[in-house]
């Protein structure tokens, strides 16, 4: 088939679940490898002789810093736990919605139990609500507004769009568009998330754990109590 005719006859849905998704996954994987490799290379640098166990210090910090410090808890408790909540909601919807599981099954060759659609819908709306509240808080809080960057707002939009388009496609709320178009927009929003993830602040979802371990290990090497 002539390549020009192939592209001319390709629908938006074909493009979204074909070339767009393939290239998004490639960029996502290459970006992850690049960022993780850079982190590992940076971790090899040791500036001073070891005065304590880096491993135990890293593990201790990893466990203790996953909750707010007692002195700061009342000031950041909402931000801290709402952050955990929307990340949990995202992973529940991603991994335990039946069509998503089937997508991964095609790639991995095995599947796993999924949750009823009612639960997935609940987690989707709760996660969207949390994201909206966090955005409103960022816009209304003078300190948060001052320290926010374009990365924060772009990352919020890119994280929110897959939920919005996913709910639209699942509930068939299409606002006059064809269902295939809404489904294509959902897949394209996921592609956008994959492309942005390794290079924006969303990468903290992966970096938060090794970063905490690294800080604890560095303190332990210096003999400092973290």
Q: How confident is the model at residue 83 (pLDDT cuts 50, 70, 90)?
A: confident
Cβ atoms of 42 and 199 within 8 Å: the answer is no
The yes/no answer on whether domain 3-43+51-221 falls in CATH 1.10.260 is no
pTM for the full predicted model: 0.78
Mean pLDDT of the chain: 81
Q: How confident is the model at residue 81 (pLDDT cuts 50, 70, 90)?
A: confident
| pLDDT reported for residue 85 | 87
Domain boundaries, the chain: 3-43+51-221
| pLDDT reported for residue 46 | 52
Cα separation of 89 and 95, whole Å? 10
Q: How confident is the model at residue 39 (pLDDT cuts 50, 70, 90)?
A: confident
Cβ atoms of 28 and 198 within 8 Å: the answer is yes
Cα separation of 159 and 21, whole Å? 17
222 CB burial (10 A radius; 0-12, 13-18, 19+): middle
What percent of the chain is modeled with pLDDT above 90?
Answer: 46
């Amino acid at each position: 088939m002539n390549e020009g005719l192939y592209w001319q006859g390709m629908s938006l849905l074909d493009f979204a679940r074909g070339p767009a998704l393939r290239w998004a996954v490639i960029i996502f994987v290459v970006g992850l490898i690049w960022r993780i490799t850079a982190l590992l290379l940076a971790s090899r640098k040791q500036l001073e002789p070891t005065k304590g166990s880096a491993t135990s210090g890293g593990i201790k910090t990893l466990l203790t810093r996953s909750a707010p410090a007692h002195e700061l808890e009342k000031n950041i408790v909402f931000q801290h736990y709402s952050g955990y909540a929307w990340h949990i909601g995202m992973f529940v919807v991603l991994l335990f919605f039946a069509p998503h599981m089937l997508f991964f099954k095609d790639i991995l060759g095995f599947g796993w139990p999924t949750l009823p659609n009612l639960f997935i819908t609940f987690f989707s709306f709760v996660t969207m609500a949390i994201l909206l509240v966090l955005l409103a808080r960022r816009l209304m809080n003078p300190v948060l507004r001052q320290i926010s960057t374009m990365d924060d707002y772009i990352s919020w939009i890119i994280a929110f769009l897959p939920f919005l388009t996913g709910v639209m496609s699942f509930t068939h709320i299409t606002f006059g568009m064809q269902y295939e178009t809404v489904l294509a927009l959902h897949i394209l929003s996921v592609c956008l998330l994959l492309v942005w993830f390794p290079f924006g602040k969303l990468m903290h979802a992966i970096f938060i754990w090794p970063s905490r371990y690294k800080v604890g290990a560095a303190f332990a090497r210096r003999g400092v109590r973290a």
